[in-house]
Each structure stands twice: as structure tokens, then as C-alpha cells.
Structure 1
Amino acid sequence: MSLSRRQVAVAAVAAVPLAFSATGTAQATGRRNRTLYIAGDSTAAQKYADAAPETGWGMALPFFLRHGLTVANHAVNGRSSKSFVDEGRLDAILGAIKPGDLLLIQFAHNDEKVEDPTRYTEPWTTYQDHLRMYVDGARARGARPVLATAVERRRFDANGKAVPTHGEYPAAMRALAAEERVALLDVQALSLALWQELGVEETKKYFNWTASEQDNTHFNPPGAIAVARLVARELLRARVLGPGDVRRLEAEISESWITWPEAAA
């Protein structure tokens, strides 16, 4: 039985009860509570017990944000900027987002899949067109959109140089951010530089490399924490958040803080 767009949107909300913040209240901090929504793919998404130790960077982001700044992680495995919209997931966010909230948008990994028309977008046309839906939707509701270029995969050439994997998508997002005057977090450039600094062998400790799998796209806890730290620093640099909104930017974050809940039935 097919579902209406409204039904899918409602289902998406029910499937993402993933709003995390540190203990504390707006009264205790003297600031109004706000929510940072994440629209994205598997690199950011919440992971469950059956996927451990795979970890999305969105799971670690709350460790770097102040009390009362909640993360609502709507990122879902396998989605592109197009399929996220087509499934009603953007509608679900826009139905909940409030004035003063933030919508952080990170897509490209699955937009690149030219063989799949349900997900593929072309960087300078349909990709930008879909990203505008997120930007315009957030602004229409008094929320602030924030574009984040896609985090890089682990790929090195024969000389040990970290190489980019996202083609024209980061450039297309940068151009759109400039055109629309949207804050940009250049996670692609920063993560590529980080993988270069760490090198071929050390980066394996940040990705989901296990005895049975060599995954160069998804993170384990150290990788998710490292990328979340980059995101938090960029939110501060871009003046999306102020110094009082972030914490622990230079502190050690224990892997034990990462937990994988059981998937909802």
C-alpha cells in the first residue's frame, strides 16, 4: 500500500526520536533552548546496537555543545539531498523546527550515485536545486540554515596523498552558500587535511575497520568524535554559534561516551 507524502513525513518523525543534549535547562544556563537539526546521510546518522562500532559524527556532536543546545539527528543511511526530500524527511524537520533553531545540511555521498535515479543529482543543477529547498524551508520558519560540505572518505594515492572523492559537489555547495549567503562549514576540506595529517595507516583507526570489514566511508567512535570536533569548530568559526555555545573543543573525549541504543521496533 502506498503512503501519502504526509504519512511518510509523520513516519519519519516517529522514526527519529533522536534529540540529544547534555543535562541542564535554559533557566540554569540563562539561555533559551534551541535545537540543531541535522539533515544528512549515513556519515552523520545515529547508529544502533546491531551496527556497532559504526558511529555517525552526529552522535558525537552533543559532546561539544553547551547545555540547552539540543541535537535532533534526522540523518539517515543511504539518503541523498533528493531522496531525503522525496521521502518526506525534510517535511518532517520543517514541521518541527522553530524560530531560532538551526538546520545543518550535509549531502553528497549518495547524490553521486549516477546509476540510481532515486538518489542521483547533478552538482550544478539538481543538487543545488534540492539544497535550496532546505535553505528556503528553514528560513521560511525563522530558522537558520547551515550548509556543510560532505566529509571525505579515506582514500590515498600510491604516494600516500589523501585524495578528494566528491567531485564537483563541494564546489557546488560552496558556490550556493555564497550566492544564498548561507553559513558554510567546509568539512570536506578540513577532513581531507586531517586524513592527510594522520596518514595511510593511522586513519584506519578512525574508520569502521574491523576484522570482517574494511570500510573507508563510515566512522568508528574516534573518527566520529574527530569529525564532530571539526563541525563544532566550524560552527564557531562561521559565527553560527558563539563561544558560550561550544565546549571541549580541545579536550579529550572518551570513546566510552558513545552508545548504540537498540533499534526501535
Structure 2
Amino acid sequence: MSLTRRQVTAAMIAAVPLALSGIGTAQASQRRRTLYIAGDSTAAQKYADAAPETGWGMALPFFLHRDLPVSNHAVNGRSSKSFVDEGRLDVILAAIQPGDLLLIQFAHNDEKKDDPTRYTEPWSTYQDYLRLYVEGARARGARPVLATAVERRRFDAGGNAVPTHGDYPAAMRALAQEERVSLLDLQALSLALWQELGVEGTKTYFNWTATEQDNTHFNPPGAIAVARLVARELVRTRVLAARDVCRLDDEIPESWITWPQAITA
């Protein structure tokens, strides 16, 4: 059974912690900032039935101080369009507060031309949908941050890491410049990292198991590596101060990644 946008929105708003939804004006200036993530499966929370698949959003809190919590709304299979159409952006905008951050990463599913519920065209509808996130965050006093889509694992015959996202990264870069939004260029950074690791080395970062060879989704080391890129870029672009981050040069134990049981209705 498919849910309507209103049903999804109502259900997810009901799940927003009272600690976030009930903050009054007098308390707002003293409350902790929250970093919200809107994105797809590469960033999303994974559950026990998906282990060892790991979204980079699961590892990002390891690199941020405790007074900057992460609220990860990324969901498998969503594009910039379907995330909006399902009411998921509405849920974020109902909870987000002045001073918060909204980190936006989409493209993997926007590329699916055979699926009209998800497909967007890079230089028109993709940018149009991204503007909804940017404008929605700004209207609530929060700061939007665009992030180009992290790259898949793909190499040519010469062992060179190959970009897979077409014009989407360029379209986001152009939008960031036009709208004066901070940009984390995860596509370029991850592509460079995959090139450094090489054909075999990258297998230890993606969800390669005895039964699966997944060149899109990460295992714990891969998610930790990408989250580290995100944290470093947040500081480099001055979205965050150096005091907001930690462990940028430390080894993060894989055991810190946990997969909770999925929540069932």
C-alpha cells in the first residue's frame, strides 16, 4: 500500500522529538544547533537486515562534537524530487530552527530516466527541486549546504576512476554559485579518493560481501572515509569552525558502527 504525501508527513512529524519541536523563542538562542541530512541511500541510516551496508550519515557524528547532533533524514532510493513529493522535506522544515544546518545530497536516483517519480533533468528540474531545500531552510533561519553526490566505484580498463553522475555535479555547482550556498564537492573528493585507493583497494570501502558486489553503497570503512571528507569540507568551507569537529586525523574503529533493528509499525 502506498502512502499519500500528507500521510507520510503527518506520521513523520509525529515522530519528531518533543525536545526539538517544543523549543520556545526564549530558549532558541541557547539551544544546540542540529545538522539535518536530506539525501539518498549513500547517506542513510541502515538497519540490522542491511548490515554491513553503511550510510556515511551514520559515521558523521563521530567527527562532530556532541553539541552538534545529526538528524539523518536520508532515505534509500529517493531523489531530490521524490523526497519532496513524499513530504520528507516538509518534515525537516517543520523541525528545523534558526541556526541549524541542512546538508543536501542527491543525484543517484535523479538520474533514473525510466522512473518519472524520481527523474529530474540536471539543468532544469534538478536545480528547481534543490532550490526548494535551499529556500525552505533559509526561510526558517537555517543554513543550507549543498553536497555533490558521492561517486560510485567504477574504473576504466586503464585503472582510472570514472565519474558516473553526468551533468548533475556541474548543475549543483552552478546552483551553489548562483544562490551563494556553501558547497561540499563530494563527487570530486570521492573520485580522487577512489583513484588513490585503486581498483582493489576500493573494494574494502564498498559493500562487497560473499554474496554481493555493490559498487554504490559503503561498508563501515567506506562510510567513515566519506564522513571524514564531509567533516573536513564543512570546516574548509567555513560552515563549521574547527572547534565543532573532532577526530579528523584519528582512526575510527569499525565497531563504532551499529545497525539497530528496523522500526516496524
Q: Indicate yes or no: 2:222 matched with 1:219.
A: no
Bigger drift between 8-17 and 178-187 goes to: 8-17
Contact between 1:16 and 1:73, CA under 8 Å: does it hold in 2? no
Tell me the amino acid that sits aligned with residue 209 of structure 2.
Answer: T
**1:22-58 alpha-carbon deviations (Å, 9 max, x no partner):** xxxxxxxxx8511000000000000000000000000
Bigger drift between 178-187 and 6-15 goes to: 6-15
What residue is the counterpart of 1:105 in the other structure?
104
Contact between 2:16 and 2:95, CA under 8 Å: does it hold in 1? no
Could you tell me how far 1:67 is from its partner in structure 2?
Answer: 1.5
Contact between 1:32 and 1:68, CA under 8 Å: does it hold in 2? no
What residue is the counterpart of 1:178 in the other structure?
177
**1:72-104 alpha-carbon deviations (Å, 9 max, x no partner):** 000000000000000000000000000000000
Tell me the amino acid that sits aligned with residue 34 of structure 2.
Answer: T
Secondary structure (helix, strand or coil) at the match of 2:34 reads strand
Normalised TM-score (structure 1):
0.92
State how many pairs are aligned: 253
Tell me the amino acid that sits aligned with residue 209 of structure 1.
Answer: W
Could you tell me how far 1:108 is from its partner in structure 2?
Answer: 0.1
Matches within 5 A, 1:1-265: 4-13=4-13, 32-265=31-264
Contact between 1:43 and 1:219, CA under 8 Å: does it hold in 2? yes
Bigger drift between 6-15 and 164-173 goes to: 6-15
Quickly say closer, same or farther: Cα 1:118–1:244, change in 2 above 3 A: same
Quickly say closer, same or farther: Cα 1:13–1:156, change in 2 above 3 A: farther
**1:121-142 alpha-carbon deviations (Å, 9 max, x no partner):** 0000000000000000000000
Q: Which runs of 5+ in 1 are unaligned?
A: 20-30
Distance 1:182 1:241 in 2: 14
Quickly say closer, same or farther: Cα 1:16–1:191, change in 2 above 3 A: farther
Contact between 2:163 and 2:191, CA under 8 Å: does it hold in 1? yes
Bigger drift between 7-16 and 106-115 goes to: 7-16
Distance 2:2 2:173 in 1: 37
Distance 2:115 2:89 in 1: 20
Secondary structure (helix, strand or coil) at the match of 2:217 reads strand
Could you tell me how far 1:163 is from its partner in structure 2?
Answer: 0.4
Distance 1:96 1:5 in 2: 17
Tell me the amino acid that sits aligned with residue 6 of structure 2.
Answer: R
Secondary structure (helix, strand or coil) at the match of 2:69 reads strand
Contact between 2:13 and 2:94, CA under 8 Å: does it hold in 1? no
Percent sequence identity over matched residues? 83
Normalised TM-score (structure 2):
0.92
Secondary structure (helix, strand or coil) at the match of 2:211 reads coil
Secondary structure (helix, strand or coil) at the match of 1:33 reads coil
What residue is the counterpart of 1:26 in the other structure?
none
